[in-house]
Structure 1
Amino acid sequence: MNPLRLLWKFMKGNRLIYLGAVISIGLAIFFSILNPLVLRVTIDSIIGNEPLDVPEWIENIIYNLGGKTVLMHNLWICAACLVFLTLLRGVFLYYKGKWSAKASESITKNIRETLYNHIQHLPYDYHVKAETGDLIQRCTSDVDTIRRFLAVQLVEIGRAIFMISIASIIMFSLNVKMAFIALTVVPIIFVFSAVFFMKVQKAFKISDEAEARMSTVLQENFNGVRVVRAFGRQKYEIDKFDERNSEYKKVTYRLIKLLAYYWSLSDVLCLSQIGLVVVLGTYWAATGTITMGTLVVFTSYEGMLLWPVRQLGRILSDLGKMMVSLRRIDEILSEPVEKPKKCEIKPNIEGNISFKNVSFEYEEGRPVLKNISFDVKKGQTVALMGQTGSGKSSLIHLLARLYDYQSGSIKIDGVELKNIDKKWIRKNIGIVLQEPFLFSRTIKENISLARHEADETEVIEAARVAAIHDVILDYDKGYETPVGERGVTLSGGQKQRIAIARTIINDSPILIFDDSLSAVDTETDAAIRKALKERKKDVTTFIISHRVSTLSEADLIIVLDKGKIVQSGTHDELIEQPGLYKRVWAIQNALEEDFEQELNNIV
């Protein structure tokens, strides 16, 4: 979408407020322009002997006050007019500031909410590939760039237009030759500003992108600070940040140099123009070509006119930066969100699952799963085993519709998975990921995240099943204990068990443990699995693990290799067959026997 069209869309509901701000700045300009005219009449006609050159209604007011003679002996009346006009100008400037600020903040709030809502509904694949630091940059810095432009510079465009229009009309009505001289530099500055706008827009984009890369390094370092400390990689991280920081400094310095060139050259042009008006105006006033009051008007207008025109450079540079920010935001908003299709349904999910010749690839020509076929009945436990990259996680991602398979068929309770609403299927599938994420809230809030309406009894029951209840009670604040950012105050096993409790409380008919029991010891692992069976026997469960003791009790064990099923069966069947499962079982058995023997020797 065109950036300006996107901005116009965001301005919906606030356009009239902006119109009021523009009208206010127009009236403020009008009253500020009247001040030099009052001075001109005072100098030329009240103090001087020039005939009154004012509209008839103003002339009638002067004569009703007693004429020029009375005003000459009471110059405070002229001063009072100047004060009154200044007060009116101040009132309208106040409303300009108030309405532009109110509208800009409201629009910015709308942009933030639209962005956040859109990001929440983007596909899983987008978040896998997106850089968090860059997303944060677009949602904060870029949005703030738009806010500053809307709050200040957008209305300043109206100021420049009103100032040039009204001042030009008055100057030409007073003296055509002097007006041409006074306006000579305006088109030059405008063209100069337009060229500068083209140059600076690209520089702002480069600077923004460099800042985003620097923010990404910061975000990664803050999230992984414990890993950095553990491996003593502080110097490496400092050097990496220094590289990005230096890059940002370099491109930003180039941008600042462009700004410096503009301000210095525009200063020279504006001051030269003012000097020309003062010199020629003084000469013509001395020779009687123009009056002293007219000279005051022209010198006043010149100062009032040139600086807003000169500000066009700042306005256009900020416009350029805002356009870059709008495009960066539009890049996110242009990403297609997950939308339910009309044909998608919300069937009753019980847990009967069937895979038939399912194939899947993240990138064309690089298949991750090939012709996967198996059947699972409601309440059964399926264990997935295989080397890293064999396709285990990809398989459960398909089941939760985080991705859609390219060929084959997946049916849940006889319904094709692609025909089931994505939100509905995810609501009915509980996933415990290998790397659990906990929010910076209390333990109770983290467990009840999936069901805010869950009462304390349900929270405690979920914690009991996840074998974490007794641990929680050991804390001073119990379930009200804050876990810190990303659960930093808890051990890996504790975080994992809270994540399991969070999934269990949702009471889903299908549960998936993506290598999530590996962070707990074998005894706790067995206790969790036993509690799950006792709690609800009709839950279909998928377990990804390399621990044979975890897999052995499954109703069906599937061994994957390079995206294909190479073995499947029960534990007793697979240990009788040559293959990966038997080799891993033999190795783990041997290690357990050696460990027990060493313990016996110690005792």
Structure 2
Amino acid sequence: MNGFRLLLKFTKGDKLKYIGSIICVALATIFSIIGPLVIRVTIDSIIGNAPINAPNYVVNFINKLGGKSVLVQNIWICGLVLVLLTIGRGIFLYFKGKWSAEASESIVKKMREKVYDHLQHLSYDYHVKVETGDLVQRCTSDIETIRKFLAIQLVEIGQAILILAFVLVIMFSLDTRLTIISMSIVPLIFIFGAVFFVKVGSSFELADKAEGRLTTVIQENLTGMRVVRAFGRQDYEIKKFDEKNRDYKNLTYNLVKQLGWYWSISDFLCLLQMAGILILGVYWVSSGTLTLGTLVAFISYESMLLWPVRQMGRIIADMSKSRVSLERIKEILDEPIEIENRQLLKPEINGDIEINNVTFEYEKNRTVLKDISFKVKKGQTIAILGPTGSGKTTLINLLGRLYDYDKGSIKINGVELKSIDKKWLRKHIGIVLQEPFLYAKSIKDNIGISKKYAKESDIFDSAKDACIHDVILDFEEGYDTLVGERGVTLSGGQKQRVSIARALINNYPILVFDDSLSAVDTETDSIIRKTLKERNKNTTTFIISHRVTTLAEADLIIVLEKGEISQIGTHDELMNVSGLYKKIWNIQNSLEDELLDVGV
């Protein structure tokens, strides 16, 4: 029930519309139950000779029309009454549908906004671990399931309760014997429905998760389609998709079978009940203890009574599915967001950094960084080198407080990092990732997106510093060129330089290049680094790279191995001692010499 308590929070401001829908349902139900009574009076008293058995206000109305004889001569009046009752019922059902739809759309809109907003404030670690396809499925398919339940099934539950209450009163007034017989099977169907509710919930959850896995495969495949084509992995991807699709199909088919069994058995029981009433009713009519009009009316009411019971399978199934969807939404909303403590400091940040004995581990007893210590002065360039998994990116993530270190101290301008407001800190650190993300917008929009009210001159200047300005001008549409989803229309180096320009436009006091210069050629790499030094001598720059020529001119080079600093110093200092840096330098230079010898 936790999920439904969550749902109640989103109904604020829309409850009146649901109340209006329920009132309309009640009125539509009243119009429905009057119809069979009109038919009963018509058969028994207008066509037949029985005295009119109806409330006094109905008898008085008939007398005002001229009495029974007038109705006998104008039987069409009874038909007109039935038509008017049907029209009235239709009008109320229209407003029921309108108001319930408006309320459900409003509630679901608020739910989407809440989930989306919550996702924006979840931790970096959460987004690293979660499957994107599963999140997409929860934010679309699961919320759509909830919308359908709110728009249709929720009001139908109220409608079913009202029909049961009203119809039972009328049925007892018509014939107690038939009413007791007709109610004999209702408890059985309700018990059957309750058991079904428990069992079908787990099946819906399994099918929902399978759909999430299938969505993930589709999302990954479409995102990495160029890689799939480049390596000829189409058959492998099709096989992987078929496997997830088969799992989803099997689980969904199993769910459909359960629903099929429920519908079949419940329909059989309901029709068996109808047959029993019809047989007994005909017998009592023939024996003179029941009028034909009463039997016809009673059969109509029996259909109304069994309708909620027959629909209970669908309502229960959709309720169960909605409960699963609500729990999946609740799982997202229960994830703790990054706490924004307004009392944290917002100091001036100019790039002076001091790291002392910092240790960090993602999981217990799995240390990623151990006793890291070094100092950085404003305006210096720091190069970080190390094998894969040595902790280079982790160190930068700590600097931006994407993770918080376990032991030690990191100070910026003499202020402990953990005491600085995260948003404030990240506004002063520009990060260019190894795999840049570009939006499906123009090049101008992609460069200016990180700076509010960016001027065209600012965009041009940052593009020039990233050595991409002239390339952009060669495009037919220039800066208005659409880069396509994730920048697919640009080469790897062009995407990288656009992302560099996006970082440079803000004049961050701290810049981080996380192996982001690897996609550009050596000459462009050198020009960009030279431009960075001339552009702002007060910017502290971190460069992670495996290309030692990129690192050689740095003020300080840090070599990480197995999470520890194995070497630290300038290029000249590190070349005078044996170690990983000198070894990589010699290997890369010898390869370059060999390429020059063969004329490459």
TM-score by length of 1: 0.98
Q: Which residue number corresponds to residue 117 of structure 2? A: 117
Tell me, in whole angstroms, the C-alpha distance in 2 between the residues paired with 1:104 and 1:507: 46
Query: Whole-Å Cα distance in 1 between the matches of residues 456 and 164 of structure 2?
Result: 69
Distance in 1, matches of 2:209 and 2:232, equals 29
Q: Indicate the SS of the match to 2:273.
A: helix
Give the total of aligned pairs.
600
Structure 1 gaps of 5+ residues are none
* Equivalent residues in 2 for 1:26-41, closer than 5 Å: 26-41=26-41
| Structure 1 counterpart of 2:308 | 308
Aligned residue for 1:317? Answer: 317
For residues 71-82 of structure 1, the aligned pairs below 5 Å read 71-82=71-82
Q: 1:430-445 counterparts in 2 under 5 A?
A: 430-445=430-445
Q: Distance in 2 between matches of 1:302 and 1:439?
A: 60
Matches within 5 A, 1:512-551: 512-551=512-551
The Cα offsets for residues 157-188 of structure 1, whole Å up to 9 and x where unpaired, read as 11111111100001101211111112222222
| Counterpart residue type for residue 359 of structure 2 | S
State the one-letter code of the partner of 2:46.
Answer: I
Mapping 1:7-406, distance limit 5 Å: 7-406=7-406
Q: Distance in 1 between matches of 2:389 and 2:597?
A: 35
How far apart in 2 are the matches of 1:455 and 1:590? Answer: 46
Verify the 8 A CA contact 1:350 1:509 in the aligned structure 2. Answer: yes
| Separation in structure 1 between the aligned mates of residue 432 and residue 204 of structure 2, nearest angstrom | 43
Contact persistence 1:47–1:72 (CA under 8 A): yes
**Corresponding letter in the other structure for 1:180:** I
Distance 2:122 2:186 in 1: 48
Would you say the 8 A contact 1:270–1:307 is kept in 2?
Answer: no
Counterpart position of 2:484: 484
2:174–2:298 contact (8 Å) kept in structure 1: no
Structure 1, 37-46 or 306-315: larger mean CA deviation: 37-46
Give distance in 1, aligned partners of 2:257 and 2:202. Answer: 14
Rounded Cα–Cα distance in structure 2 between residues aligned with 1:594 and 1:179: 98
Determine if contact 1:3/1:323 at 8 Å carries over to the other structure. yes
CA distance in 1, matches of 2:373, 2:597: 42
Long gaps (5+) in structure 2: none
Q: CA deviation at 1:120?
A: 1.0
Correspondence list, 1:571-586, <5 A: 571-586=571-586
Deviations 1:377-418 (A, max 9, x none): 111111111111111100000001100000111011111111
Q: Distance in 2 between matches of 1:456 and 1:481?
A: 15
Please list, as runs of the form range in 1=range in 2, the aligned pairs for 1:585-596 lying within 5 A after superposition.
Answer: 585-596=585-596
Give the stretch that moved more between structures: 371-380 or 47-56.
47-56
Range 581-590 or range 507-516, more displaced: 581-590
Q: Measure the CA separation in 1 of the matches of 2:212 and 2:342.
A: 39
SS of residue paired to 2:435: coil
State the alpha-carbon separation in 2 of the partners of residues 229 and 384 from structure 1: 34
Assess if the C-alpha contact under 8 Å between 1:124 and 1:403 holds in 2: yes
Hey, what's the Cα distance between the residues in 1 that align with 2:155 and 2:309?
A: 14
* SS of equivalent residue, structure 1 residue 311: helix
Task: Tell me the amino acid that sits aligned with residue 126 of structure 2.
Answer: Y
Out of 36-45 and 509-518, give the one that drifted further: 36-45
Q: Is the 8 A contact 1:350 1:413 kept in 2?
A: yes
When structure 1 is superposed on structure 2, of 492-501 and 66-75 the one drifting more is 66-75
Shift of 1:308: 2.2
Contact 2:342 2:421 in 1 (8 A): no
User: AA paired with 1:275?
Assistant: A
CA RMSD of aligned residues (A): 1.2
C-alpha separation between the residues in 2 aligned to 1:591 and 1:206?
54
Deviates more, 1:361-370 or 1:56-65: 56-65
Contact in 1 for aligned 2:22/2:158 (Cα 8 Å): yes
- Matched residue type, 1:519: A
2: CA distance, partners of 1:565 / 1:268: 76
Q: Deviations over 1:421-475 (max 9, x none)?
A: 1111111100000111111111111111101310111001010000000000010
Q: Distance in 1 between matches of 2:141 and 2:527?
A: 49
SS in 2 for 1:559: strand
Cα deviations by residue, 1:275-313 (Å, 9 ceiling, x for unpaired): 111111111112111111111110111122212211001
Q: CA shift at 1:342, angstroms? A: 4.1
- Cα separation, 1, equivalents of 2:293 and 2:543: 91
Shift of 1:594: 2.6
Q: Which amino acid aligns with 2:227?
A: V
Describe the superposition over 1:171-226 as per-residue Cα deviations: whole angstroms up to 9, x where unpaired.
Answer: 10121111111222222211111111111111111111111111111111111111
1:505 aligns with 2:498: no
CA distance in 2, matches of 1:442, 1:105: 33
SS in 2 for 1:360: strand
Residues of 1 paired with 2:243 and 2:150: CA distance? Answer: 34
Q: Work out whether residues 182 and 298 of structure 1, in 8 Å CA contact, stay in contact via their aligned partners in 2.
A: no
Deviation for aligned residue 1:343: 3.4
Verify: 1:417 aligned to 2:417, yes or no: yes
Deviations 1:471-498 (A, max 9, x none): 0001000001011111111111000000
Measure, in 2, the Cα distance between the counterparts of 1:345 and 1:298. 76
Equivalent residue for 1:452? 452
Deviations 1:564-585 (A, max 9, x none): 1111111111111111111111
* Whole-angstrom distance in 2 between the partners of 1:59 and 1:65: 10
Amino acid corresponding to residue 15 of structure 1 in structure 2: K
Answer with 40-49 or 456-465: which moved more. 40-49
1:198 partner SS? helix
Partners of 2:186 and 2:50 lie apart in 1 by: 31
Deviation at 1:122, TM superposition (A): 0.7
The percent identity for this pair of structures is 62
Residues in 1 aligned to 2:2 and 2:32: alpha-carbon distance in whole angstroms: 37
Contact 2:350 2:509 in 1 (8 A): yes
How far, CA to CA, are the matches of 1:594 and 1:310 in structure 2? 81
Q: Which amino acid aligns with 2:455?
A: D
What does residue 559 of structure 1 align with? Answer: 559
Normalising by structure 2, we get a TM-score of: 0.98
Quote the Cα distance in structure 2 between the aligned partners of 1:548 and 1:5.
Answer: 58
Q: Residues 277 and 298 of structure 1 are in contact (CA less than 8 Å); yes or no, is this contact kept in structure 2?
A: no
Find the aligned partners of 1:189 and 1:363 in 2 and give their Cα distance: 52
Aligned mates of 1:171, 1:271 — CA distance in 2 = 18
